[in-house]
Structure 1
Amino acid sequence: MPFPSSRISGIVPSGKDGWEIHFAAWNRKQAGEDIIMLSVGDHDFDTPSETVEACVRAVRGGHHHYTQLPGIPALREAMAKVSTRTTGVPTSADQVLATPGGQAALYAAVQGTLDPGDHAVVVAPYYATYPGTFRAAGADFTVVEAAAEDGFQPRASEIEKALMKNSKAILLNTPNNPTGAVYSRASLEAIADLCRRRDLWLMSDEVYWTLGGGEHISPRALEGMAERTLVINSMSKSHGMTGWRIGWLTGPVDFITLLISLNLVSTYGINDFISHAAAEALNSDFGVERIAALYAGRRKVFLEAIRGINNIVVRGSEGGMYAMLDVRAIEPDSEKFAWSLLAAENVAVMPGASFGDAAEGHIRISLCQPDDVLKDAANRLRRFASSYGSKAA
């Protein structure tokens, strides 16, 4: 056959995307094995019933048609209200682009800010799709690692060292996946100052904004940043709607207006009846407080259960749906540790190396399991950690 484009061939150039352990564990679980899945951030509960019923009403109400390219007006208005509330910046509907999930919002932000050959800085640890999203745009990027010993707080001085003459943007994520770190005001103020001085776009992935253990601060709210910040958001985590694929991008009006053309040639709008249900869910906060309380409780249960395990240190883990465990004193190779844990104890976790070099020697624990399962997993991890050295020998 003819050759595919270098654009798609280079999105995952190594052929590995960090999910190999998860898929191997999932296949074993599907085959009937007793595997505890702590490797993926997908809720173990259904979407709130109020949202489901809103969707049923929308289907029965005839909302089966094409929608406006940037999203139906009711949905954009609802997203703008949430953006106003969560960032503290008055936001209008024409500053919002509705997208099929947060990943599509990230894709739009990268496509809208970077031309082929332009450069960006990505703060790590990062969500696993970030590098591929830049490659899909033909853009170059440099990863700047936030240190575990700093609680994974980014340092603006390190970011500035990585900037080049053709740098156009910085991408960060708070509350952070995979570490659960919630970036401090001081960290964000320093990065904002850098963006203003160097005239950079700041792409801020805030998908976990409701699941922080501390104060969530959007850099869009900082002085002089509304005109240069693009906020990536989603209903997947906050509203329990991972499979519904509803996200949005918030930014300056002129920028969002230009991005409507990207929807024209990519998504051609999003689902009609889901859009109406999502608008109702956003306006009524269906499930938001319950989901946030659930994960706060699970985080507490799991961290208490692993307390005192020799040579394992908790890093970050203030927010999001994850806990980040430093296992370097046991095994510095996070993939080796994760594969061995799966083989010995039937527990699937994500190796930190999947999220950048800063997370090497760590494992990410998804809290998307009930308390009793998390306690069981903690006990298996404790047993594994105590015997790993002798087994490895």
Structure 2
Amino acid sequence: MSNKIEESASMVVAALANQLKADGVDVVSLSIGDTHFPLDRALQAGISEAMSTNRTHYSLAQGEMDLRNAVSRSYKGTYLSDEIIISHGVKNGLYSYFLATERQSVCAIEPAWLGYKGLCRLAGKNYYGVNRYQNNWLESLKDSEFDILIICNPNNPDGYVYRDSELQTILEIVKDKGAELLIDEIYKFFSYDHAVDSMARFRGLKNVVLFDGFSKSHAMTGLRVGYIASKNESLCQQIIKVQQNTITCVNTISQYGLSQINELDRVVSGYAAYYEKNRSLVSEIIPELLPFTPAGGFYYFFDLGLLGIKLDAKDFCTGLLEHEAVALIPGGAYGSGFDDYVRLSFCVDTEELKKGLNRLNSYIEKCKEL
């Protein structure tokens, strides 16, 4: 099994960028999706209180009740606390799900977060991707054989937000196949052009499993707290058993610190507003990227060929890091057919983003001359 597992491209690039920084190179990393803000003071206070009151011991594998109640309130009771499982981030939640289910064939709509394929392989599942950039992608999805479908909305890596008509067709396809729909909502607070919550129709359906967390929205990627929400009681029980036998429980001080999440909407909205300005800055400094402006998330995913660059993404990213000290992610990590694409993360300090974009713009112009 181990020889089938690939390294995470984003983590590899981030590690290389960090090593160069340690060596004294002025690297601008626009690679990894790590919200750059410091942890909010209210969360710091909650974590400090948990530590000072000795809440550092085992908790339930399903998660602390206070946090599950808070998540339930955020969904206005659509999911009860018993229908929510706290996980060690979304990645661990997905892996626990894959280990818990007997379903075998997983389809993801690509470009897709690279973790989906890796987790499927680790869990012994069959993975298949459908390229959304093809004109007939919904027909291809309909013709595909799967009993699990994953969508991320807004999507990583391109910030795509699904249209209502597409969501309705997806729901019909999933029902016709008797499949389960996994919805990754980790970027739901970062939706810039769609005020209506288009995913509301899926919540509460028994064949839908939601995955979300606090890493991106609350600027706490390293604290690793996510959750699963499902109306399928037997599935929940199986996932809890997996967690009992793998992680035991999610770290308790973070769970206690997050029990007041319902009071932090203003903070999260501020983060989203900051990144919306960063989003506009990207196309202001590099107007050629305007057609790739994402509707959500905090990434641009752009085609080098449409910029007049003949290099593939790997060569482009290698040269960019070597000559301009800017780190981006080659698009091939996000599925088949994206070898000419590059992912740029703008969830960084604005001044750092400006510096990186000016260097990138300069390198783009040099590459056009090759």
Which TM-score tier does this pair reach, normalised by the shorter chain?
Answer: over 0.9
Out of 371, 375, 382, the position equivalent to 2:350 is: 371
Map Cα deviations across residues 163-189 of structure 1 (whole Å, 9 max, x no partner). 2xxx21111111111111111111111
Q: Which residue, 249, 268, 275 being the options, matches 1:288?
A: 268
Q: Taking structure 1 as reference, are residues 144 and 172 closer, same or farther at Cα in structure 2, changes over 3 Å only?
A: same
Q: Residue in 2 aligned with 1:325? A: 302
Q: Which residue identity does 1:374 align to in structure 2?
A: L
Q: Residue 357 of structure 1: SS of its match in structure 2?
A: coil
- Report how far residue 63 of structure 1 moved: 0.9
Percent identity for Structure 1 against Structure 2: 23
Q: Which amino acid aligns with 2:298?
A: M
1:349 matched to which residue of 2? 328
Residues in 1 aligned to 2:147 and 2:106: alpha-carbon distance in whole angstroms? 6
Alignment partners' CA distance in 2, 1:280 and 1:257: 26
SS of the aligned residue for 1:364 comes to strand
- Name the amino acid aligned to 1:199: G
**1:100 and 2:88 matched:** yes
Q: Let me know the Cα RMSD of the aligned residues.
A: 2.2
Counterpart amino acid of 2:286? I
Number of residue pairs the alignment of both structures matches: 366
Q: Which residue of 1 aligns with 2:138?
A: 156
Structure 2 residue 153 is the aligned partner of structure 1 residue 174: yes
| Inter-CA distance 286–274: structure 2 relative to 1 (3 Å threshold) | farther
Change (3 A) 1:139 1:218: farther
Supply the AA of the counterpart residue of 1:327: L
User: Is the 1:313–1:327 contact (alpha carbons within 8 Å) kept by the matching residues of 2?
Assistant: no
Q: Work out whether 1:145 is the aligned partner of 2:128.
A: no
- Aligned equivalents of 1:217, 1:173: Cα separation in 2: 14
Q: 1:286 to 1:239 in 2, by over 3 A?
A: farther
- Residue 72 of structure 1 corresponds to 64
**What is the match of residue 45 of structure 1?**
37
SS at match of 1:303: helix
Closer/same/farther in 2, CA of residues 226 and 332 from structure 1, 3 Å limit: farther
Of 79, 83, 91, the match for 1:91: 79
One-letter amino acid of the structure 1 residue matched with residue 26 of structure 2: D
Give the Å deviation of 1:217.
4.2
Write the distance in 2 (CA, Å) between the matches of 1:232 and 1:22. 25
TM-superposition CA deviations, 1:66-90 (whole Å, max 9, x none) = 10110011111111222x15xxx71
1:104-253 paired onto structure 2 within 5 Å: 104-115=92-103, 118-147=104-133, 155-163=137-145, 167-215=146-194, 217=197, 219=199, 221-222=201-202, 226-253=205-232
For residue 126 of structure 1, report the CA deviation from its aligned partner: 1.0
Between the aligned partners of 1:133 and 1:18, the Cα distance in structure 2 is 15
Mark the runs of 5 or more structure 2 residues left unpaired by the alignment: none
The one-letter code of the counterpart of 2:330 is: P
One-letter amino acid of the counterpart of residue 331, structure 1: K
- Could you tell me how far 1:25 is from its partner in structure 2? 2.3
Decide whether the 8 Å contact of 1:113 with 1:201 is kept in 2. Answer: no
3-state SS of 2:188 partner:
coil
| Structure 1 residue 282 displacement after superposition | 4.1
Task: Measure the CA separation in 2 of the matches of 1:358 and 1:75.
Answer: 41
For the pair 1:10 / 2:7, whether they are aligned, the reply is: no
1:171 match: secondary structure? strand
The gaps in structure 1 that reach 5 residues or longer are 1-5
| Contact 1:220-1:226 at 8 Å conserved across structures | no
Shift, 1:301, TM fit: 1.6
* Cα displacement (A) at 1:60: 1.1
- How far apart are the structure 2 equivalents of 1:196 and 1:48? 41
Cα drift, residue 285 of structure 1: 3.3
Does the Cα contact within 8 Å between 2:206 and 2:232 map onto a contact in 1? no
Rounded Cα–Cα distance in structure 2 between residues aligned with 1:266 and 1:217: 34
Check the 8 A contact 2:183/2:210 in 1, yes or no: yes
Q: Distance in 2 between matches of 1:69 and 1:370?
A: 36
Cα displacement (A) at 1:281: 2.7
For the residue of structure 1 that corresponds to 2:248, the secondary structure is: coil
Q: 1:190 to 1:144 in 2, by over 3 A?
A: same
Give distance in 1, aligned partners of 2:101 and 2:161.
Answer: 25
Distance in structure 2 (CA, Å) of the matches to 1:157 and 1:332? 32
Alpha-carbon distance in structure 2 between the residues aligned to 1:209 and 1:305: 26
In 2: Cα distance, 1:204 partner to 1:217 partner: 14
The 8 Å contact of residues 39 and 350 in structure 1, kept in 2 or not, is answered as yes
Contact 1:59 / 1:273 at 8 angstroms: preserved in 2? yes
2:52 counterpart of 1:60? yes
Matched to 2:164, the amino acid is R
Given that 1:22 and 1:350 are in contact with CA atoms closer than 8 Å, whether structure 2 keeps it comes out as no
